[in-house]
Structure 1
Amino acid sequence: MAASVTPPRGMRDFLPAEKARREHALGVIRRVYASHGFDEIETPVMEDASRLHAGLGGDNEKLAFAVMKRGLTGDDLAAAAASGDALSLADLGLRYDLTVPLARFYATHQAELPPVFRAIQIAPVWRAERPQKGRYRQFVQCDIDIIGEAGPLAELELLTATVAALDELGLTGCTIRLNDRRILAGVLASWGVADDLRERALITIDKLDKIGPEGVARELRELGIVGGSADVAAELVALANADWHLHDGVVPPPSWLDLDAYRDLLALRTALPGAAIEFDPTLVRGMGYYTGTIFEIAHPDFGYSLGGGGRYDGMIGRFLGREVPACGFSIGFERIVDLIGASAADRPRAVVLVYDADVPQGALLALKAELVASGARVRLERRVKNFRALLDRVTADGFDAFAPVTADATDASSLAFRELGA
Structure 2
Amino acid sequence: MAQKPSIPKGTRDFNPEEVAKRNYIFSVIKASFQSFGFQPIETPSFENSDTLMGKYGDEGDRLIFKILNSGDYLSKADHAAYDNKDSNKLTSSISEKALRYDLTVPFARYVVQHQNEIEFPFKRYQIQPVWRADRPQKGRFREFYQCDADVVGSASLWQEVEFIQLYDAVFSTLKLEGVTIKINNRKILSGIAEVIGASDKLIDFTVALDKLDKIGEAKVKEEMLSKGISQSGIDKLQPLFTLSGSFESQIDSLKSILNISKDGLKGIEELQFIDAAVKELGLQTASLQLDVTLARGLNYYTGAIFEVSAPETVPMGSIGGGGRYDDLTGVFGMKDMSGVGISFGLDRIYIVLEALGLFPKTVTKTVDVLFINFGDKEALFCLKAIKQLRAQGVHAELYPDSAKMKKQMNHANRRKIPYVVLVGEEELFSNTYSLKEMLTGDQFKVNFETLVKHIKKVS
TM-score after normalising by structure 2: 0.83
CA distance in 2, matches of 1:67, 1:174: 38
Q: How does 1:116-195 map to 2 (within 5 A)?
A: 116-195=121-200
Contact kept, 8 Å, 2:321 with 2:342, in 1: the verdict is yes
| 2:192 counterpart SS class | helix
CA distance in 1, matches of 2:255, 2:232: 25
CA distance in 1, matches of 2:163, 2:3: 47
Amino acid at match of 1:282: T
CA distance in 2, matches of 1:404, 1:338: 40
Q: 1:16 to 1:413 in 2, by over 3 A?
A: farther
Amino acid at match of 2:5: V
Name which of structure 1's ranges 82-91 and 43-52 shifts more when overlaid on structure 2: 82-91
Q: How does 1:295-306 map to 2 (within 5 A)?
A: 295-299=306-310, 300=312, 301-306=314-319
| 1:272 counterpart SS class | helix
- Matching residue within 261, 266, 270 for 2:272: 266
Contact kept, 8 Å, 1:217 with 1:232, in 2: the verdict is no
Residue in 2 aligned with 1:254?
256
Q: 1:380 to 1:201 in 2, by over 3 A?
A: same
| 2:231 counterpart SS class | coil
- Residue by residue, what CA displacement relative to the aligned partner does 1:273-308 show, whole Å, maximum 9, x if unpaired? 223111111111121110110111112233411100
Contact kept, 8 Å, 1:41 with 1:119, in 2: the verdict is yes
1:152 Cα deviation after fit: 0.5
CA distance in 2, matches of 1:421, 1:233: 67
Amino acid at match of 1:376: V
Aligned residue pair count:
416
Amino acid at match of 1:14: F
Q: 1:322 to 1:295 in 2, by over 3 A?
A: same
| 1:47 counterpart SS class | strand
CA distance in 1, matches of 2:13, 2:237: 44
Q: Which runs of 5+ in 1 are unaligned?
A: none
1:330 Cα deviation after fit: 0.2
Does 1:343 pair with 2:321?
A: no
Contact kept, 8 Å, 2:190 with 2:199, in 1: the verdict is no
- Matching residue within 78, 91, 97 for 2:102: 97
- Matching residue within 385, 395, 403 for 1:377: 395
Name which of structure 1's ranges 226-235 and 9-18 shifts more when overlaid on structure 2: 226-235
Contact kept, 8 Å, 1:402 with 1:420, in 2: the verdict is no
CA distance in 1, matches of 2:179, 2:234: 34
Contact kept, 8 Å, 2:422 with 2:434, in 1: the verdict is yes
1:357 Cα deviation after fit: 2.6
CA distance in 2, matches of 1:24, 1:391: 23
| 2:67 counterpart SS class | strand
Q: Which runs of 5+ in 2 are unaligned?
A: 442-459
Amino acid at match of 2:390: V
Percent identity between the two aligned chains: 32
1:363 Cα deviation after fit: 0.9
- Matching residue within 188, 212, 223 for 1:208: 212
1:417 Cα deviation after fit: 4.1
Residue in 1 aligned with 2:340?
327
CA distance in 2, matches of 1:190, 1:154: 29
1:262 Cα deviation after fit: 1.5
CA distance in 1, matches of 2:256, 2:412: 65
CA distance in 1, matches of 2:325, 2:237: 29
Does 1:357 pair with 2:359?
A: no
1:352 Cα deviation after fit: 3.2
Contact kept, 8 Å, 2:11 with 2:142, in 1: the verdict is yes
CA distance in 2, matches of 1:412, 1:306: 54
Name which of structure 1's ranges 22-31 and 266-275 shifts more when overlaid on structure 2: 266-275
Q: CA RMSD in A?
A: 2.7
- Matching residue within 437, 446, 449 for 1:418: 437
The structure that has the greater radius of gyration is 2
Residue in 1 aligned with 2:48?
48
Residue in 1 aligned with 2:73?
72
Q: 1:27 to 1:320 in 2, by over 3 A?
A: same
Q: 1:173 to 1:242 in 2, by over 3 A?
A: closer
